[in-house]
Chain A
Amino acid sequence: MCGIVGIYLKSKKFEKDLGKMLSGMLVNMESRGPDSAGFAIYKKEKKEEFKYSICINNLVFEKFKKDISKKIKYNSIIKNSDHAILSSKENPEKVLSILNELKEISLVGYGRSIEIFKQIGNPKDVVKKFNLEKFSGTHAIGHTRMATESAITTDGSHPYSTGSDECLVHNGSLSNHNNLRRDLIKRGINFKSENDTEVAAGYISNHLLNKKNLKETLQSGLSDLDGFYTFITGTKKGFAIVRDEIACKPAVISETKDYVAIASEFQAMAHLPGVNIANIFEPEPGIVYTWGN
């Protein structure tokens, strides 16, 4: 099963409430995925700074902070439960190669505006642990997981991010992910897990790197990604949803003048302000819907 949710704000009105809105959506989707939960939230970028979302697992934060300061020159490092957001002006390639070599931690995402938090456990607990309600931002994506093809681990949790400011959540399963993974590895995309969704995220990163836009990328995904899926994907300024052409995996969109909200089921959105006068519709199979750019 799995539950997926997302909000893209069209006006500034709800920027401060974004975390609160997403939090309610994730908690309501517990019934579709009690194994793990995660979210990606896009905040205003700071010039020249890159942010790295790191799951420090069982490390003691102070020790990690001390060790990392010897390797990376950072502007700030902020602890949030077992995650940390490291901000640095250093060359991203250099920082990434250092972070990827550290076996005790998992780099869950990076970019100018994205922050990602994900962990095993009930969505209610995960949301509380990271204090999602206090977050503000411009758009956000979340996932509640009912594990199927790979284990219940942090690396098996969504959202997946395989490129700067990119993230993807998925309800469904892919059947050609092993072939696609081999092909993408040859093209220089790195994978951390055996998970099928990570392959779809890598596929999107590869297309975006080759200067395709989000809409074109997802449209070509319709013929290249075999399986069942509803995907919600985010970029620094964009937000999109696509369902495979069989459309077994559900999705509902609620759009008002202030926001676009997407969820696997309407009940995840019932608490959103003004949802009862929103334009509510199901995305059609095989059609890519995008907002922003």
Chain B
Amino acid sequence: MKLDLKKLKLRKVNETLQSIDPKRNNKNYTILNPEGNHAICVGLTDDIDITVKGHVGYYCGGMNQNANIIVEGNVGTGVAENMMSGKIHVKGNASQSAGATAHGGFLIIDGDASSRCGISMKGIDIVVKGSVGHMSAFMAQSGNLIVCGNAGEALGDSLYETDIYIKGKVKSLGADCIEKKMDNKHLKKLDKLLKKANLEKLKSKDFKRYGSARKLYNFKIDNVSSY
């Protein structure tokens, strides 16, 4: 089914995608002429496939649950913001705060993501094929941030328990973020996530792992399962 934003109001398009009748509707949708509009595909709850043909504005796929969204273009601030589950694949670049505060799901960015990628992430897995800007994974609490290119200044500042894997160079680490040993279990986890992003060619041993030194916040081993 094609939804053309030149003909339909954004609210109508989002309402259509938010109220899928599983018995009648098909599962494939294409959004045409996004033209940088904000809040495209927010608040989706069903297991549907959506392809957005073009560049989008802020908060694309925000709060997503279950939906599989492909953006054939660039995304603005806060793609997959507060995503709970599902998958968002950005074929271009992402602006700042990609995957911010997201609890779950999978975000793949084929290009670069700018500053604050994965800020306050709470369980999402993010794979950026290019590089990320400054203050990425700021106060990140849980989940995995994988960057195949470089990371900007103050990576992982005030980090909690997110695992960060960087293949390229890190300009600088933020407060309480340190390089950590890559154990077998980390290599296995990284291999699995790279495979999920169709990046089997990359070797997990070429990445470095970064995490929290646990000096800035009161880490308590009894609560580790919460992260």
Contacts and interface: CB of A to CB of B under 8 A. Distances in A.
Interface in A263-293: 265-271, 276, 280-282, 284-285
A276 B54 contact: yes
Given A284-B133, A285-B133, A285-B134, A265 B96 contact: no
A34 interface: no
B36 to A, nearest CB: 3
Going nearest first, the 10 A-B pairs with the smallest beta carbon separation are A267-B36, A270-B35, A266-B36, A270-B36, A282-B114, A266-B55, A267-B57, A247-B115, A280-B74, A265-B57
27 contacts: A247-B114, A247-B115, A247-B133, A250-B76, A250-B95, A252-B95, A265-B36, A265-B57, A265-B58, A265-B76, A266-B57, A267-B35, A267-B36, A267-B37, A267-B38, A267-B57, A269-B36, A270-B35, A270-B55, A276-B55, A280-B55, A280-B93, A282-B93, A282-B95, A282-B114, A285-B115, A285-B134
B101 interface: no
A99 to B, nearest CB: 40
Contacts of B168: none
B96 to A, nearest CB: 7
B158 interface: no
A110 to B, nearest CB: 35
Interface residues of B, number: 19
A250 B92 CA distance: 17
How many residues of A sit at the interface, in one of the four size bands? 10 to 19
Contacts of A276: 54-55
Interface of B: 35-38, 54-55, 57-58, 74, 76-77, 92-93, 95-96, 114-115, 133-134
A266 B76 contact: yes
Contacts of B57: 265-267
B36 A280 contact: no
A268 B76 CA distance: 12
A264 to B, nearest CB: 10
Interface in A175-200: none
Contacts of B77: 250
Nearest to A267: B36
Chain B interface helix/strand/loop/mixed: loop
A247 B36 contact: no
Contacts of B95: 250, 252, 282
Contacts of A268: 36
Contacts of B133: 247, 284-285
Contacts of B93: 280-282
Contacts of B114: 247, 282, 284
A282 B152 CA distance: 14
Given A266-B36, A270-B35, A247 B55 contact: no
Contacts of B37: 267
Contacts of A252: 95
Interface string A131-170: 0000000000000000000000000000000000000000
A280 B36 CA distance: 12
B90 to A, nearest CB: 13
A58 B206 CA distance: 69
A280 to B, nearest CB: 6
Contacts of A250: 76-77, 95-96
B93 to A, nearest CB: 7
A172 to B, nearest CB: 15
Nearest to A31: B38
A276 B34 CA distance: 12
A73 to B, nearest CB: 49
A243 to B, nearest CB: 10
